[in-house]
Amino acid sequence: MELFVRKLHAQQRQLEALEYTVIQQGDRVVHFLSTALREGPHERVRDKQIRALWKEMSWRLSVPAREFVLNLHDYYKAQYHEASEVEDYSRPPSNGDIAVDPRTALKNAISSAKARTEAKWALKLLTFQNIPKILEVFDGDASGLISVWEVNEVTSAMPEGWT
């Protein structure tokens, strides 16, 4: 009987060790998947603005070329027409708002407006007439899909500081 009890305890220790290993591996898989889902392919896009668009649209490694160009136009249009900072500056603070230095608020609103104005030139070029030309630039292999690699190739050719 004593031999049986020793073997039973040894078997229980092995099962507990196996249970610990399974739990540990499960935690690693969950951590890896949650990290991969949080990061996503948009992290591979080098250009800050296109990365934001890629993330917002939840695109994978490639996107239909026409969809990319149309959404790029919409993205720049939304950036240009966003005037909430100026509206926030001009409205009086409510009771629950934290007091912000008016100079700082105005400075932030103006710098944001300048950034939108700098991107305004892109809207003039992102038109339906220019879609074939833009597609040709981004879709170098004429596959009908624009990949992260192709976007990085185009944006890396831009001069420093361009939008």
How far is C-alpha 2 from the geometric centre of its chain's CA atoms? Answer: 63
Please give the residue that has the higher pLDDT: either 89 or 138.
138
Give 73's pLDDT tier (boundaries 50, 70, 90): confident
Q: Taken in order 51, 141, 69, 63, is the CA torsion positive or negative?
A: negative
Q: Where are the domains of the chain?
A: 1-39, 40-156
Mean pLDDT of 36-50: 81
Confidence at residue 116, expressed as pLDDT on a 0 to 100 scale:
60
pLDDT above 60: residue 95 = no
Query: pTM value?
Result: 0.56
